[in-house]
Amino acid sequence: MRLAGATPGSAILDAGTGTGRHALELAEAGYLVTGLDHAATLLTAARSASGGRPWPRFVQGDYDRLPFAEASFDAVLCLGSSLGYQGEAGDRAALAEFRRVLRPGGRLVIETFHRDELRQALPAHEERLLAGGARLRFSRSFDASVGVLREEQQLVRPTGAETLRSYEVRLYRPGELCLLLHRAGFANVSYHGRLAPSPRAGSSAPLVVLADTIAPTPHRAAMDLARSGHTQYGYPQGVMLRSMDLPRMRTLWSDRMSTTSEKSYTVQGMTCGHCELSVREEVEELAGIESADADRGTGRLVVRGEAIDDAAVRGAVQAAGYELVA
């Protein structure tokens, strides 16, 4: 619970609790955990694993209509890629509900995957051993063209296998998530490599997104970065990223090239440093582009290269989750 900023005795909502794996561990550590899930079968397994203890409590419900009063929890956890099952409209409603049930100063923790490298990070088949000897079996496939993961879950008991659910889940780029969170009323959005401390945050590792219910302040942002050991872009201190290292060198080189041109665009929706990074990376992947600089304050995107195609730049910005202003 280090990233969530919660201490034992805090009220925690485990949204998408499933069989209660995280909720059971947190309750054992002294947190007052409520586990929420839509699937009655999974909740039955979770209650069985709890052994009748008072905590955690398990509740059936949906993200977009949480059965809790406003300001009920100190932290909301949405772990194991629990977001994305209802499409973008459903996720917007869910984030608004998470914001509603959080107390002032509370924090939302989302665990998902780096979309573009998911095929390398997520196994097509996986099994987890449950309490009582049952196993939860996963079968998965990923369509990178639309960012959709298709998954089937089976509960395997000695008496046979039972299909629990088959579904599709929408996976987001970091910039897309950032925009959704800000629109839901969250602030201080930051990115981390995983829930536990990690030597590096790469695209094949889980992506953990934090968002607060308080307005962003320089002091709070600095404290968060100091505690996490990450830069403002969500990567460990000392890790040099291509898009952060090369623009200046590319600019110096382009000044010497008479064939290099420069174009400016206005991008709608950039609200954080990671948004700028996402836009720059997508544009710099285009053929003929030497550098791209994005400024969230003004929304300005400056692109330099020998062959700048407006339609290609627009497509790259859209791929990052944003839109060019006509």
Tokens found for residue 86: 């209802």
pLDDT for residue 259: 64
Whether this model's pTM surpasses 0.75: no
Residue 229 pLDDT greater than 90, yes or no = no
pLDDT at 269: 82
Give domain 11-114+172-228's CATH superfamily: Vaccinia Virus protein VP39 (3.40.50.150)
Return d(Cα 192, Cα 173) in angstroms, integer: 14
Considering the chain, what percentage of its residues have pLDDT values greater than 90? 36
Q: According to the model, what pLDDT value does residue 195 have? A: 60
* Tens digit of each residue's pLDDT (9 = 90 or more) over 168-203: 888 887 778 888 898 899 988 887 766 654 433 344
Q: Which residues are within 8 A (CB) of 170 and not within 5 positions of it... i.e. 6 or more apart?
A: 84, 85, 87, 88, 91, 147, 148
**What are residue 188's phi and psi, to 5 degrees?**
55, 45
Both tokens of residue 297? 């304050």
Rounded CA-CA distance 48/237 in Å is: 43
CATH number of the 242-324 domain: 3.30.70.100
User: Residues 31-48: pLDDT tens digits?
Assistant: 999 999 999 999 999 999
DSSP 197: -
List the single range of 29-43, 45-59, 86-100, 217-231 with lowest mean pLDDT: 217-231
Across the chain, mean pLDDT equals 80
Q: Quick check: 28 pLDDT over 60?
A: yes
Say how far apart CA 140 and CA 198 lie, in whole Å: 26
Per the structure block, which two tokens stand in for 304?
A: 């330099």
Q: Considering only 13-27, 61-75, 213-227, 232-246, which range has the smallest mean pLDDT?
A: 232-246
